[in-house]
Amino acid sequence: MDTADKLLIRALSGETLETPPVWMMRQAGRYLPEYRETRAKAGDFLKLCYNPELATEVTLQPIRRYGFDAAILFADILLIPQALGADLWFVTGEGPRLSTITSKADFNKLSDADDVHETLSPIYQTVRNLREALPPETALIGFAGAPWTVATYMIAGRGTPDQAPALALMNEKPAVFDALIELITEATIQYLVEQIKAGAEVVKIFDSWAGVLSGFQFAKYATRPTARIVSVLREEYPHVKIIGFPRGTSNEGILNYTKTTEIDAVAIGADVDADWAVENLQSITCVQGNLDQSLLVSGGEKLVSETKRIKAAFAGGPHIFNLGHGITPDADPDNVSRMVDALRS
């Protein structure tokens, strides 16, 4: 099947479909018993990311089980910092930890943006493997973290509730902060280009912590770097579609981000009103979202009715059905089947 004929690509090209394509953020994850078995075989999370054979396997698992219209590369947004020279490890039950960037001296220890490929070469091999292994109708999504979100982890050394360490560096040492954002932006471009060369048909840019930025900060550190990434990718690979996810920001911020970056689709959280999104976003781009991920834990009739409500709300324009955020480890795999059945019935 030609890429242009795949349901996800048709929606990203602006086509209104009777049944929207469906996939889930974090669809390869701990809620699936087969994922847990494969992760145990790998040894730990990072070893799984860097093992092309096993990373390919966990990417394919939800495709086999649910027949999603897209597979998303199994990796992590923090592989870029590691490729740039930061120390990275994961603490069980707590999440990622990194060496911190809090001064010019720390920044000067990092590698150049074009030096990331040796570390990331196993990820590119996973993309090549997937392109060979996926069903012909299934689109392949590559991804990266947005520069602001990646920077927050590199500065604090971990996730924090309000990203105060990153905001402090932004205000107190703006030259260091700006240099870090620029470095991550260029490394992200390099990373996504290689994913595209390896076979990714769509790329998604996750700005998971965009919501903590104020108006001018959001414009400078969320919208502007993403716009640069989109511009470079589109110039080199005009056929590749790009999804942006400025999580947690205001409606006005989402709208300005969508217009400025010129992405092919904007992903929205479960807190964004569907009627507002239809009127303001779907008129200019494809919209992705936005089922509350907690419904895949609780299930029941509410899951079915909300799935059908979202499908109906966005039925008048290009839409990709997805969650408002990633599926959680306590989700019931059977509830995912109910969601897909309700959407496609």
Give the catalytic positions in this structure. 26, 30, 39, 76, 153
Q: Which residue has the tokens 């795949």?
A: 6
Burial grade of 163 (CB within 10 A; 0-12, 13-18, 19 or more):
buried
Instruction: Give yes or no for a contact between 344 and 18, defined as CB atoms under 8 angstroms apart.
Output: no
Distance CA 68, CA 60 (A): 10
What ranges in the chain are assigned the alpha helix state H? 7-12, 33-42, 45-49, 52-66, 79-83, 104-108, 117-133, 147-156, 164-172, 174-198, 215-218, 224-236, 251-261, 274-280, 295-298, 300-313, 333-344
Partners of 287 in beta bridges:
266, 319
Distance CA 23, CA 8 (A): 9
Residue 194, number of CB atoms within 10 A of its CB: 18
Pairing of strands 88-91, 95-98: antiparallel
Residue 223, number of CB atoms within 10 A of its CB: 25
Pairing of strands 286-288, 265-267: parallel
Distance CA 193, CA 4 (A): 19
Partners of 204 in beta bridges:
143, 243
